[in-house]
A and B are shown apart, each in its own frame.
Chain A
Amino acid sequence: MLYEFSFPPNEKTPRLARRALDGQLAYLGPDAESRMRLAMSEIVTNAIRHGHLAPGEPVDVRIDLTDGGARVEVRQPTRAEAAIRTPGGDEGGLGLQLIDELTQSWGVEPGPPGIVWFEISASAEPGEATK
């Protein structure tokens, strides 16, 4: 099942993006669901904080749910390169390590448009599968 959302770039957006998945993720198992919410929220937050988006420039989120897991793409009209490095405003590269820990695989297409994507497998521990 493919879901596509377009959000305005403001401080409410990370919560809206998490809400968009309400009721859809239980089949992944609680751990994968938590990891989905965390990874998506951090990536959307960073698109907003570091993406230099103008008020009319949306953050597009595409969520593809399959039996085996989920693939999420967060797209912004600007370059995405810097964003993923800095979740939480940390300049030390914590973001990369966190996304790596939470997901089975991920990547950045700097753009523009910039895309950050990740995949999470249902009921699998991260770091074991498709790396």
Chain B
Amino acid sequence: MSAETTPIVQTHDHVCLIYWGETSRRPVLLQWAREGLAAGEGTVLIEPPSNGDALVELIGDDADPLIVVDPGTLYASGDDGAVLAERLHRAATSVDGDKAPVARMSVPAAYALAVHDERTHLEHERAFARIVEERPVAMLCQYDQVSIDGALIARAAEEHEIVVQLDDLALSTLDMRPTDDGVRLSGEIDLANHDIVRSWMSRHRGRRLLVDCSNLTFLDVAGLRALTAWATEDTPLVLEHLNGAPARLLSALPLGSVPAHVAVARTTS
């Protein structure tokens, strides 16, 4: 792995990867698998054989330790989320018996949704979130905006610690992740992700939040409302390091129309 590559996941990360169509997912999935293999991690791809074979071929000689699990077999058993997560984890950690206990799992939601209803799927996501918290594993859960209902994707975002949204060229349009004292936002918040932002922010309800906006390059009015939807008098939201167009939006809003319990920390630099 080259030094320039930013690791896609770290241990205990539970990532919701939202993407536009298979071609935008593949580069990320390849990097994700290569990182795991280079680090000697048990690496599991849940893909139908046709897709799995294509990915193995693209990875080349290093792909030997990669485990491809057919979603048909995995989901057909009707296990609940906890059993399913346990089974995945076992598969990921038992390669040859001598692998490091760290593992990473790639789970495209489309295959689960072909078998289960949405409620069951969200229960699975909650179980995955627990196993990622308890065990030294990372999960990359994938949602295709072309084929999966937007409302379900927004609800799924709430179950994940980290949300990354890609455009159809696999470039990141939004990246949301927790920090020690709040959250960090990178990218753009607009019509394409209001609902996802509102849902994900609800994870952080009930605490005072510092929102690092250093790398937030665009924010529209509805995006601001989504971001600040859960701010209350006791748990206010502080927007830090606003710059560029998002800063201009805040300064252009008429007096009194910035949502209540939201403060803007002025950047000194």
Contacts and interface: CB of A to CB of B under 8 A. Distances in A.
B218 A98 contact: no
B151 interface: no
B258 to A, nearest CB: 11
A98 B192 CA distance: 21
Contacts of B191: 11, 13-15, 45, 48-49
Contact of B221 (A13, A37, A90): A90
A88 interface: yes
Given A15-B167, A88-B224, A88-B225, A41 B218 contact: yes
Contacts of B93: none
Contacts of A12: 20, 167-168, 192
A89 interface: yes
B220 A94 contact: no
A74 interface: no
Contacts of B248: 31, 34-35, 38, 102
B125 interface: no
B252 interface: yes
Contact size range, B: 20 to 34
A98 B190 contact: no
Contacts of B249: 38
A64 interface: no
Contacts of A37: 218, 245
Contact of B220 (A35, A45, A92): A45
Nearest to B248: A34
B252 A38 contact: yes
B220 to A, nearest CB: 5
A91 to B, nearest CB: 12
Interface in A48-104: 48-49, 87-90, 92, 94-95, 97-98, 101-102
Contacts of B168: 12
The main secondary structure of chain B at its interface with chain A is mixed
A98 B253 CA distance: 6
A42 B191 CA distance: 9
Interface string A1-38: 00000000001111100100000000000110011011
Interface of A is mostly: helix
A18 B248 CA distance: 15
Contacts of A48: 191
A97 B254 contact: yes
B222 A88 contact: yes
B206 interface: no
Contacts of A38: 220, 245, 248-249, 252
A41 B190 contact: yes
Contacts of A14: 190-192, 220
Contacts of B73: none
Contacts of B244: 30, 34
Nearest to B150: A11
A90 B223 CA distance: 12
A30 B252 CA distance: 15
Interface string B174-194: 000000000000001011100
Given A88-B222, A98-B254, 14 more contacts: A12-B167, A14-B191, A31-B248, A38-B245, A38-B249, A42-B220, A48-B191, A88-B220, A88-B225, A89-B222, A90-B257, A92-B257, A94-B254, A102-B252
Interface of A: 11-15, 18, 30-31, 34-35, 37-38, 41-42, 45, 48-49, 87-90, 92, 94-95, 97-98, 101-102
